[in-house]
Structure 1
Amino acid sequence: MDKRGSRRKKATRAERAKRAEADGRNPPSRFWRWTKRLFLWGAVAAVLGAVFLAIAVGFAARSLPSYYQLKATQNAQTIVVRARDGTEIVELGPSYGKWLSSEEIPQVMKDAMISVEDRRFYSHPGVDPYGLTRAVYVWATGQNRLGATSTITQQLARNVFLNSNRTIDRKLREAVLAMALEWKFSKDQILELYLNKVYFGGGAYGIDSASRKFFSHPASELSVAEAAIIAGLVKAPSRYSPTADVDAAVGRASVVLRLMREQGRITADQARVDVSAVNLKEEVGQNSVRYFTDWALPQLDLLLPETFEPIEVWTTLDVGMQRAATAAVQANVPEGTQGALVSLDRDGAILALVGGTDYVETNYNRATNALRQPGSSWKLFVYLAALEAGYTPDDRVVDTPVKIGDWSPRNSNGRNIGETDLRTAFAYSVNTVAAQLGNEVGFGSVASMARRFGITTPINTYPAMVLGSNEVRLIDMTRAFAAISAKGASVEPYGIVKVTTADGEKLYEHKQARSSQLVPDHVAAGITDLLQAAVQTGTGRAAQIGRPVAGKTGTTSSNKDGYFVGFSSGITTGVWMGRDDNRRVGGLQGGRAPAQAFSAYMRYAVKDRPVEEFDTDLKLPDWQIEEDDEYFFGDPEDYYYIDEQGNLIEPGRQPTGPEGQLPFPVEGEGMPQQQPQMQPQPRPQPTDPTRPPLREQPATGRGADGAPQAIGDDFLDRATGRQEPRRQGNRPQE
Structure 2
Amino acid sequence: MSPYDLRLSPEDRPGGPTHRSKPKSSKKSGKAPASTRRAKPRKAKKTKRAAARGGIGRTIGRMAYWTAVLGVWGLIAVMGVVGYFAMTLPPPEELAVPDRPANVMVVAADGTVLGNRGETGGEAVRLFELPPYLPQAVMAIEDRRFYSHFGVDPIGLARAAVTNFTAGGVVQGGSTLTQQLAKNLFLKPERTIRRKVQEVLLALWLEHKFSKDQILEMYLNRVYLGAGATGVEAAARTYYGKSAREVTVSEAATIAGLLKAPSRYAPTSNPDLAEQRAQTVLSAMVEAGYLTDDEAKLALISPAEVKPRTPGESAGYVADWIWEQVPSFIGELRGDVVVDTTIDMRMQEAAEAALVKVIDEHGKEKGVSEGALVAMDTSGAVRAIIGGRNYTKSQFNRAVKAKRQSGSSFKTFVYAAAIEAGLSPDTLRTDGPISFGNWSPGNYNGKYRGPITLTEALKDSINTVAVRLTSEVGVDKVIDVAHRMGIRSDIPENMSIALGTSDVTPLELVGAYVPLASGGYGAVPYVIRRIRTADGKVLYERNGDGPGQVLSSETVGAMNYMLKQTVENGTGRRAGFDAWPAAGKTGTSQEYKNAWFIGYTAYLVTGVWLGNDDGKPTKRVTGGNLPATVWHDFMADAHEGLAMADLPGEYIPGTGTQYAVDETLPWLQGNPGPQGPTYDPSRPVQAQAPQQGGGGGLFGQNGFFKKLFGG
**AA at the equivalent of 2:101:** A
Within a 5 Å distance, the mapping from 1:154-553 to structure 2 comes to: 203-205=228-230, 218-222=257-261, 226=264, 284=309, 287-304=313-330, 306-333=332-359, 334-336=362-364, 337-545=369-577, 546-553=579-586
2:604 is equivalent to residue 604 of structure 1: no
Q: Is the 8 A contact 1:522 1:619 kept in 2?
A: no
Aligned equivalents of 1:473, 1:63: Cα separation in 2: 54
2:649 is equivalent to residue 692 of structure 1: no
Aligned equivalents of 1:614, 1:308: Cα separation in 2: 46
Q: Is the 8 A contact 2:354 2:630 kept in 1?
A: yes
Aligned equivalents of 1:321, 1:159: Cα separation in 2: 46
**AA at the equivalent of 1:293:** A
**Residues 398 and 199 (structure 1), Cα distance of their counterparts in 2 relative to 1, 3 Å cut:** farther
Aligned equivalents of 1:487, 1:615: Cα separation in 2: 5
Q: Is the 8 A contact 1:375 1:561 kept in 2?
A: yes
Aligned equivalents of 1:533, 1:518: Cα separation in 2: 23
**Displacement of 1:303:** 2.1
- Which of 48, 56, 65 is the equivalent residue of 2:95? 65
Gaps (5+ residues) in structure 1? 1-53, 108-152, 161-179, 230-240, 244-279, 628-680, 698-734
Q: Is the 8 A contact 1:397 1:695 kept in 2?
A: no
- The SS at the match of 1:489 is coil
Instruction: Give CA-to-partner distance per residue, 1:166-200, whole Å, 9 cap, x none.
Output: xxxxxxxxxxxxxx99996579989x999996879
**AA at the equivalent of 2:589:** T
**AA at the equivalent of 1:502:** A
Question: Residue in 1 aligned with 2:592?
Answer: 559
- The SS at the match of 2:399 is coil
Aligned equivalents of 1:64, 1:367: Cα separation in 2: 48
Aligned equivalents of 1:375, 1:684: Cα separation in 2: 24
**AA at the equivalent of 1:315:** T
**Residues 471 and 86 (structure 1), Cα distance of their counterparts in 2 relative to 1, 3 Å cut:** same
**Displacement of 1:91:** 4.3
Instruction: Give CA-to-partner distance per residue, 1:338-364, whole Å, 9 cap, x none.
Output: 111111111111111111111112111
Q: Is the 8 A contact 1:397 1:694 kept in 2?
A: no
2:627 is equivalent to residue 594 of structure 1: yes
**AA at the equivalent of 1:568:** T
Aligned equivalents of 1:200, 1:581: Cα separation in 2: 36
Q: Is the 8 A contact 2:611 2:618 kept in 1?
A: yes
Within a 5 Å distance, the mapping from 1:87-126 to structure 2 comes to: 87-93=112-118, 94=120, 95=122
Aligned equivalents of 2:629, 2:671: Cα separation in 1: 40
- Identical-pair percentage: 30
- The SS at the match of 2:504 is coil
Aligned equivalents of 2:453, 2:371: Cα separation in 1: 34
User: Mean Cα displacement is larger for which, 606-615 or 550-559?
Assistant: 606-615
**Residues 74 and 531 (structure 1), Cα distance of their counterparts in 2 relative to 1, 3 Å cut:** same
Aligned equivalents of 1:324, 1:494: Cα separation in 2: 20
How many pairs were matched up?
A: 471
**Displacement of 1:295:** 1.6
Aligned equivalents of 1:483, 1:473: Cα separation in 2: 17
**Displacement of 1:65:** 2.0
Q: Is the 8 A contact 2:399 2:507 kept in 1?
A: yes
**Displacement of 1:689:** 4.5
**Displacement of 1:683:** 5.6
Q: Is the 8 A contact 1:208 1:219 kept in 2?
A: no
**Displacement of 1:619:** 9.5
| Greater Rg over alpha carbons, structure | 2
- The SS at the match of 2:565 is helix
**Residues 208 and 559 (structure 1), Cα distance of their counterparts in 2 relative to 1, 3 Å cut:** same
Q: Is the 8 A contact 1:500 1:508 kept in 2?
A: yes
- The SS at the match of 2:563 is helix
Instruction: Give CA-to-partner distance per residue, 1:206-232, whole Å, 9 cap, x none.
Output: 899889969976345439x959x9xxx
Q: Is the 8 A contact 2:434 2:675 kept in 1?
A: no
**Displacement of 1:580:** 0.9
User: Mean Cα displacement is larger for which, 362-371 or 207-216?
Assistant: 207-216
Aligned equivalents of 1:483, 1:389: Cα separation in 2: 18
Aligned equivalents of 2:558, 2:532: Cα separation in 1: 44
Instruction: Give CA-to-partner distance per residue, 1:636-673, whole Å, 9 cap, x none.
Output: xxxxxxxxxxxxxxxxxxxxxxxxxxxxxxxxxxxxxx
User: Mean Cα displacement is larger for which, 210-219 or 462-471?
Assistant: 210-219
Q: Is the 8 A contact 2:354 2:634 kept in 1?
A: yes
Aligned equivalents of 1:596, 1:532: Cα separation in 2: 17
2:107 is equivalent to residue 82 of structure 1: yes
Aligned equivalents of 1:584, 1:314: Cα separation in 2: 39
**AA at the equivalent of 2:674:** R
**Residues 201 and 540 (structure 1), Cα distance of their counterparts in 2 relative to 1, 3 Å cut:** farther
Aligned equivalents of 1:415, 1:212: Cα separation in 2: 58
Within a 5 Å distance, the mapping from 1:12-31 to structure 2 comes to: none
Q: Is the 8 A contact 1:61 1:184 kept in 2?
A: no
**Residues 534 and 311 (structure 1), Cα distance of their counterparts in 2 relative to 1, 3 Å cut:** same
**AA at the equivalent of 1:611:** M
- Which of 560, 572, 581 is the equivalent residue of 2:614? 581
Q: Is the 8 A contact 1:389 1:683 kept in 2?
A: no
Q: Is the 8 A contact 1:427 1:534 kept in 2?
A: yes
Structure showing greater relative contact order (alpha-carbon pairs closer than 8 Å, 6 or more residues apart): 2
Aligned equivalents of 2:658, 2:591: Cα separation in 1: 44
**AA at the equivalent of 2:638:** A
- The SS at the match of 1:314 is strand
Q: Is the 8 A contact 1:338 1:580 kept in 2?
A: yes
- The SS at the match of 2:385 is strand
Aligned equivalents of 1:381, 1:208: Cα separation in 2: 48
Gaps (5+ residues) in structure 2? 1-83, 125-134, 144-151, 162-181, 207-217, 241-253, 271-304, 681-711
**Displacement of 1:155:** 11
Aligned equivalents of 1:425, 1:582: Cα separation in 2: 29
**Displacement of 1:385:** 1.4
Aligned equivalents of 1:318, 1:512: Cα separation in 2: 20
**Displacement of 1:242:** 9.2
Q: Is the 8 A contact 2:425 2:454 kept in 1?
A: yes
Instruction: Give CA-to-partner distance per residue, 1:304-338, whole Å, 9 cap, x none.
Output: 25453433322111111111111111112232511
**AA at the equivalent of 1:362:** S
- The SS at the match of 1:368 is helix
Q: Is the 8 A contact 2:226 2:258 kept in 1?
A: no
Aligned equivalents of 1:159, 1:427: Cα separation in 2: 66
Question: Residue in 2 aligned with 1:171?
Answer: none
Question: Residue in 2 aligned with 1:265?
Answer: none
Q: Is the 8 A contact 1:498 1:510 kept in 2?
A: yes
